[in-house]
Amino acid sequence: MSIASPPGGRRIDFTQTLHASTKRDYVARVVENDKAACAEIAGRFGADYWDGDRKYGYGGYRYDGRWLPVAEAIAETYGLRAGDRVLDVGCGKGFLLYELQRAVPGLIVTGLDISTYALEHAKDEVKGDLIAGTAAALPFADDAFELVISLGTLHNLGAADLFAALAEIERVSRRNGYVMVESYRDEREKVNLLYWQLTCKSFYSVADWEAVFARAGYRGDYGFIFFT
């Protein structure tokens, strides 16, 4: 885990090691299938995206325990304890929330996702804590959570919804926020991201993401994953 000094909050890496453990053939992603057609299907965030062929998304998003070290690092960084409330914006099947409760017994978790398929196939232990909704209009009161996280979600939003989502995360977070998005540091990583992505709408370098966070008034922490 690395921490640097950004404009608003801290830049913290919780996920790059996990992300980099998956091998990807970037060129094959573009030439072996009709990528535009695959992206259109992926953008529905239904069964094909989560549990269908790899060309549409995850190729089977199943619980395997890989998120526990991430959850433990998040819990330690933010000093989470029993009774604290945590919101995951773009929670998918709720695996990270489940691991957060394993890391901190008694933690109160809530997840929100646009994908009804993901919510219907979520981890049983947290399924009752998950709701359908959009990041740009969170159905929660101001300062409702000690920590609001959003991992791998906000880059899927266009500019208007992106700024709205950052403002909403800031609004409902009483104490801490953490956002992780896809980004790039050089031309190779930019090309790899363009080749690999299926649902990304906001393509920004690290410096541009930091400018977006500052312009949106987002004061929480943030991190990136890179396609190396």
The per-residue pLDDT for range 169-215, each reduced to its tens digit, is 999 999 999 999 999 999 999 999 999 999 999 999 999 999 999 99
Amino acid at 12: I
Average pLDDT of 50-64? 97
Read off the pLDDT band of 5 (50, 70, 90): very low
CATH of domain 8-226: 3.40.50.150
Q: How much is the mean pLDDT over the chain?
A: 95
Read off the pLDDT band of 4 (50, 70, 90): very low
Token readout for 3 is: 């921490």
Angle between helices 95-103 and 68-77 (to 10 degrees): 60
Q: Answer yes or no: is pLDDT of 48 > 80.
A: yes
Rounded Cα distance between 146 and 128, Å, is 20
The 3-state secondary structure of 82-99 reads CCCEEEEECCCCCHHHHH
61-108 per-position pLDDT tens digit:
999 999 999 999 999 999 999 999 999 999 999 999 999 999 999 999
Rounded Cα distance between 197 and 214, Å, is 25
Q: Report pLDDT for 195.
A: 97
16-40 per-position pLDDT tens digit:
999 999 999 999 999 999 999 999 9
User: Which uninterrupted H or E stretch holds 195?
Assistant: helix 187-196
Q: Would you call 226 helix, strand, or coil by DSSP?
A: strand
Count CB atoms within 10 A of the CB of residue 34: 9
Length of the chain in residues, anyone?
A: 228
Average pLDDT of 212-219? 96
**Distance between start and end Cα atoms, the chain:** 18
Rounded Cα distance between 131 and 108, Å, is 14
Q: Answer yes or no: is pLDDT of 137 > 90.
A: yes
Q: 11-12 and 3-4 as β-strands: parallel, antiparallel, unpaired?
A: antiparallel
